[in-house]
Amino acid sequence: MQRRKFLRESGAVGVGVAAATMLAACGKKEEPAKAEAPKAAAPAVATSGEVRWRLASSFPKSLDTLFGAAEAFAKQVVAATGGKFQVTAHAAGELVPPFGVVDAVQNGTVECAHTAPYYFFGKDETFSIDCAIPFGLNSRQMTAWMYEGNGLKLLREFYAKYNIVNFPMGNTGAQMGGWYRKEIKSVADMKGLKMRISNLAGAICTRMGVVPQTLPGGEIYTALEKGTIDAAEWVGPYDDLKLGFNKVAPNYYYPGWWEGGPQLSLYINSKSWEALTPEHKAIVEAAAASAGVDMQAKYDARNPAALKQLVSAGTKLHRFPKDVMDAAFKLSQEIYAEISAKNPTWKKVYDDYSAFRRDQNLWFRFAEASFDDFMQNQKL
């Protein structure tokens, strides 16, 4: 559905403004090993005009900002339809494995899912563009590309072969660069570093001499504590504080150049989507947009206090050295060119994405960035 049509049709839902300003998010971050076959589930029930959907999340309930977006979406759909459209949100593993959600939606095992698209980089690199790629768009720019650029159109074309209709639903905003047992003073310090990192960021770090490690979230603390790994990236202060990384790795680096504006997505089985009435379609789109705004608002509101708490407990904040940033940027461009040469789908989407990014950075340089730079140096 095109944005303007959505704004006309969803006025009764009361969240049209949210759709126009949608900012949204991604959680963390486990390399999608080959997913288990999804367990069969009973088909959705639709009687007397009622609709019942199950939403499979890639996130556990403990990540309240991430799984919470799925819950917020479900509640809004139910409320907007007076209970005639029921959506139940299920945490990772309850219906299907966290990295089995694409297969589950594609096959109709579940009606919809909420996930970080770059988890499925192994299926096709193009999935990553729907979430975050190193040195990509920030959250506002991503929203602009999706709704006012060609992002939603191009990604809908891509997802059609997976029987999926996608909607943006969440964004963490720019993330931190992770936790390190020792300081990183130059790009030379990256060589031999055993780091929990994956996807395109892992590919770039590999060329910098890093040894990427794939670990589920629950194992990172122990690995850092025992020295099995030297560093790990996750999300940002609010989530990182919960996991206690500051107790075993004192150096906290920024920015997370691999995730400048990671967007989460709502995946809907195409047949389930087409079976909806126009009114229900408008409600689903509006609820996804509103849940996305809610997610980023939570991160933006909660990260400052969490960062203060980390610093007061002894965390040492460091900006990545310039030579690390320069090397990572150069390598990212080389890798994107290589992927474009072998994957025409990626090339079509990335070419449009990168052109949009170029114009966005020109604009942000003069207005947003200069204003932010001034304000962040004031003592208020």
* CATH assignment, 178-259+314-375: 3.40.190.10
pLDDT of residue 42: 44
Q: pTM for the whole thing? A: 0.86
DSSP string, 134-196: TT---HHHHHHHHHTSSHHHHHHHHHHTTTEEEEEEEE--SPP-EEESS---SGGGGTT-EEE
Residue 115's SS3 state is: strand
Sequence-distant (6+) residues with CB within 8 A of 144 are: 356, 360
DSSP string, 211-241: EEE---HHHHHHHHHHTS-SEE--S-HHHHH
pLDDT by residue (tens digit) across 261-303? 999 999 999 999 999 999 999 999 999 999 999 999 999 999 9
Q: Is the pLDDT of residue 129 over 60?
A: yes
* Token pair listed for 30: 């486990």
Q: Is the pLDDT of residue 37 over 90?
A: no
Q: Cα–Cα distance between 197 and 105 in angstroms, integer?
A: 27
Q: Which has the closest alpha carbon to 324: 174, 191, 230, 224?
A: 191
pLDDT by residue (tens digit) across 181-216? 999 999 999 999 999 998 899 999 999 999 999 876
Highest-scoring range by mean pLDDT, 24-28, 42-46, 263-267: 263-267
Average pLDDT of the residues of the chain: 89
Instruction: Indicate the domain borders of the chain.
Output: 3-173+261-301, 178-259+314-375
CATH fold for domain 3-173+261-301: D-Maltodextrin-Binding Protein; domain 2 (3.40.190)
Q: Cα–Cα distance between 49 and 130 in angstroms, integer?
A: 34
Sequence-distant (6+) residues with CB within 8 A of 380 are: none
Q: Which has the closest alpha carbon to 281: 17, 93, 19?
A: 19
Q: Is the pLDDT of residue 111 over 90?
A: yes
Strands of the sheet containing 211-213, edge to edge, are: 211-213, 194-196, 231-232, 178-180, 251-254, 316-319
| 3-173+261-301 and 178-259+314-375: identical CATH topology | yes
Q: Does residue 196 contact residue 215 with C-beta atoms inside 8 Å?
A: yes
pLDDT by residue (tens digit) across 48-79? 579 999 999 999 998 999 999 999 999 999 99
Q: Cα–Cα distance between 351 and 271 in angstroms, integer?
A: 30
Cross-strand bridge partners of residue 232: 179, 196
Q: ∠ CA 339-350-210 to the nearest 5 degrees?
A: 50
